[in-house]
Amino acid sequence: MEKSLNLDFTGFNLPDIDADMASPLTLAYIGDAVYELAVRTIVIGRHREPVNKLNRRATMLVKAETQSEMVETLLPLFTKEEEAVYKRGRNAKSSSSAKNASIQDYRRATGFEAVMGWLYLKGETDRMLYLIQKAFEAGKEQP
């Protein structure tokens, strides 16, 4: 299991955000960033190579197609709450569109990112990293 991210925002006076009340696209917005940070952290921890190679590894793991594949592994592992957040994110109507992915992959990735954001905002980074690890173990893409 990867270590907890242990982010400390003391001194920034951040508002207390109720993850259960946040819109699914807001959850996906923060989830996208947190997931990418987790992936980059894992990649640099496992590989000693030039930044361009690190970036290629990370890019393969954060693209919508890969996240969509990860959902196949994670759906049976999701709690009922996580599944509900996933479905809210997947079904959310976004004004942006998929650039390099099918609409199905894009929506499933948005649902995945919503779960990551929800777990992060709830302070459940250990659970978030556990799910990421299980998806990596089952997937063809490895960090």
Residues 129, 32: contact at Cβ < 8 Å? no
Q: How many CB atoms lie within 10 A of CB 137?
A: 9
Q: pLDDT at position 30, please?
A: 95
Q: Any idea which fold 24-138 has?
A: Ribonuclease iii, N-terminal Endonuclease Domain; Chain A (1.10.1520)
Angstrom distance (rounded) from CA 89 to CA 71:
12
Helices (H) and strands (E) in the chain, counts: 6, 0
The phi-psi region of residue 50 (left if phi > 0; otherwise alpha if psi is between -120 and 50; otherwise beta) is: beta
Q: pLDDT at position 94, please?
A: 78
Say which of 8, 18, 32, 105 is annotated catalytic: 32
Q: pLDDT at position 13, please?
A: 63
The tens place of each residue's pLDDT in the chain, 143 residues long, gives 445 566 666 566 667 788 999 999 999 999 999 999 999 999 998 889 999 999 998 999 999 999 999 999 999 999 999 999 999 999 998 777 777 889 999 999 999 999 999 999 998 999 999 999 999 988 776 77
| Domain-wise residue ranges, the chain | 24-138
Residue 32 a catalytic site member: yes
Q: pLDDT at position 11, please?
A: 60
Residues 28, 108: contact at Cβ < 8 Å? no
Residue type, 14: L
Q: Cα 77–24–42 angle (5° rounding)?
A: 55
Q: pLDDT at position 78, please?
A: 98
Q: What 3-state DSSP class applies to 101? A: coil
Q: How many CB atoms lie within 10 A of CB 13?
A: 6
User: How far, rounded to the nearest angstrom, does the alpha carbon of residue 72 sit from its chain's CA centroid?
Assistant: 14
For the entire predicted model, the pTM comes to: 0.88
Q: Cα–Cα distances in Å, from 116 out to 25, 63, 124?
A: 12, 15, 9
DSSP character at residue 131: H
